[in-house]
Structure 1
Amino acid sequence: MSAAVEAPGTPGTPSSDGTEKRHKVQVGWKAASGLIIVGALFALLLVAVPRDGVTKFALSRGADAVQIPLLEIPAMPLAWGCLVAMALIAAYSVVRTLANRRTSIWAIAAFGALSLTGFLAWAGAGSSGTLSIVSLLSGSLLGAVPLVYGSLSGVIGERSGVINIAIEGQMLAAAFTGAVAGSVTGSPAAGVFAAVLAGMLVALVLALFTVTHRVNQIIVGVVLNVLVLGLTSFFYSQVLVPNAATLNSAPRFGSWTIPLLNDIPVIGPVLFDQAPLIYLMYFVVAGVWFAMYRTRWGLRLRAVGEHPKAADTVGVNVERTRYLALLIGGACAGLGGAFYTTVAVDQFGLNMTAGAGFIALAAMIFGKWDPVRAAMAGLLFGFASNLQNVLSVVGSPVPSQFMLMVPYVVTLFAVAGLVGRSRPPAANGQPYLKG
């Protein structure tokens, strides 16, 4: 069900009698119906399973320079207050849709923040533990790092017109190579460098088959994922396990604390007390955005992804542009894979990426093929993954199996278009044959 409205100032299509037919702009009900469903489920939770007591929110750590007092808030009044505000936003979304206007992304973000606050209040009610907001956000950032790097890889590749299903394989190969190189050299920096090369190597194979030989891009991506999984599993059991002390014990990066910025309440410890790969992520996201929208290369990249024939006509080398895009994307995926064995843990494990490449693809779609939005979507999925850890600390009644589902439920909402329709580049997935 959708509402239609004539777009003012939109050129129409001439009809047989010489009059002009106005184009209709379709405003869907996905956002409004999604908000209503989530609000109804939250209301059902509060009615069916009420919880007494207060919820304790800790906004600072014991070692922080600025100490914020512990917040003890009655759980159910806070949860019901959040529900009322959520209902108002859902009503606002319905009114906007009836008026043939889209629901603002800020309204959806506010709805999400309110629903999360209410849920945390309900989950932590009466618990002897405290909900550490710093730990929640910091863990979410760490969980999002490979997703952000992977989503950037997808954005760059698909903006050039090549579907990159092989992000999972690129990150897994990078994690394996980073662990081996770091173990042999004793340097996490060497591990990162080797991981980047491994990600680019898988991307080069993808480019060779899809760009040069014009093989179906989705099939090649799936095959590469299976191939890398098989190779890393074989070498793990046959090489790494018997030689774990020398080949699978990589040193890890420690946290680099940035003075002064680390002392900012709440966000300081989250953003400015991290490993170098996290700091690098900030610059990579900004750099990809700048290169894509503010440079000649970015203009050519987007032109190749939208209309390769027109780009070729004005002198852009389509194949070279796509090769370069996939290699840069492979380097980004390599950084995401390096995170697993140079920051998160000190050794490689079987299939340790565990589908992160596919969630990164969902983040790319959720972010509408924009590097900054895709990075924000990666942070959202990282938050959903880390939520179970924080709730288990405070003894939440929510089953752990349910919390394991949260990242994938969020992914389903993302690809279903809760935040609006996502349009991929027009030539995405289409091989280009010159002439």
Structure 2
Amino acid sequence: MSPARVLDAPWLKSGPAVRVLGLLNSDGEEARVVGGAVRNALLGIPTGDIDIATTALPNEVIRRAKAAGIKSVPTGIEHGTVTLVVDAHPFEITTLREDTETFGRKAKVAFGRDWVGDARRRDFTINALSIDLTGVVYDYVGGLPDIAQRRVRFIGDPAQRIEEDYLRILRFFRIHAAFGAGEVDRAGYLACIAARAGLATLSAERVRMEILKLLVADGAVGAVAAMAEGGLLQAIFGGVAYTGPFASMIAAERELGLAADAIRRLAALAVAVTEDARRLATRLRLSSAEAKRLDSMGHRWWRLAAMDEARAKRRLYRLGEEAYRDRLLLAWARAGGNTDPTPWRNFATLPRRWQAPKFPLKAADFIARGIAQGPALGHVLTLAEDAWLAADFPLDPSSLASIVDQTVARLTRDRP
């Protein structure tokens, strides 16, 4: 084990985590915070969920929680996991265990009291650290040196760890994108490439979850490029991956001060036409809203590559602010990083400077000129709206009256 290190984490001084650790650290049992919370605290980045491992069996965890008036939920009791809710904060409490058979999420486990064995069954060294109530960090697999170098490395034989669960291929790149630095670990990278056929055995939901998290990580550009070079994106997307536009999309988001957006980045990486969007929606089991948005981005995005402000306003009016910005950013990303960003920036910020007025003409305006209700009325309203847009959104009565007269005349002229 690495030399002891003491971590001064605020959630070890007071609060619900301290209460849970205190509850489980008595009468011969021990509990420690494990995994991501320890990793993040060591890296000096915000901590999300706090997971706890314990020597106590699940039924004992539930018994102690009940005696302390704490709500318990048997969220994964067959794998030793009980969720305790303290002050509205959920804590996953998992009994120390070893995998006796491993086949993805359905591994068979045996409960035990061996902290070393529990650490060695985890995926990456930086995820296998634990910390006790006094702040002492326990490292049985070399996680502390890897934290210092921001290196994501499999525990033990990478090929064996991947064979246990092929989702670890995606987690390797996602964790590297979020917490690593420099190039990916060579041994892990080669093992992922060798095992890439195993990605086909994963459910679409699990792949979607990892991919969307990866795309918004700080180091997504490098991780995605490594995946593309290793032939992994082809296995996931079933089509071409465009790493250049992906990097350009991220640069555009940052230039505009926009939050990282997984669907927008997915479009830049893998959507050239709407058929690509539909294939991805199926392969990744996207939600209906995500699929609709991806499809909209892929629909004739190239028409936004050459336009003046008048045309940009018409596009914004037709598409709405979100769809307009999404499609414009895809066109910008596809244009590449060597183009002048000024026009793109101006078009992208148009919604901040200009709000489209509502179409002012109503059915009554045309009924008053003799157009009966029915298909003809709907048609003339469409013609009038097109004319109003072409005239740059006039609102004065004389211009509107002229549009009404011209569209009625056109409809009358076009009738057989």
With normalisation by structure 2, the TM-score equals 0.23
* Structure with larger Rg: 2
With normalisation by structure 1, the TM-score equals 0.22
- Name which structure has the greater RCO, CA cutoff 8 Å, separation 6+: 1
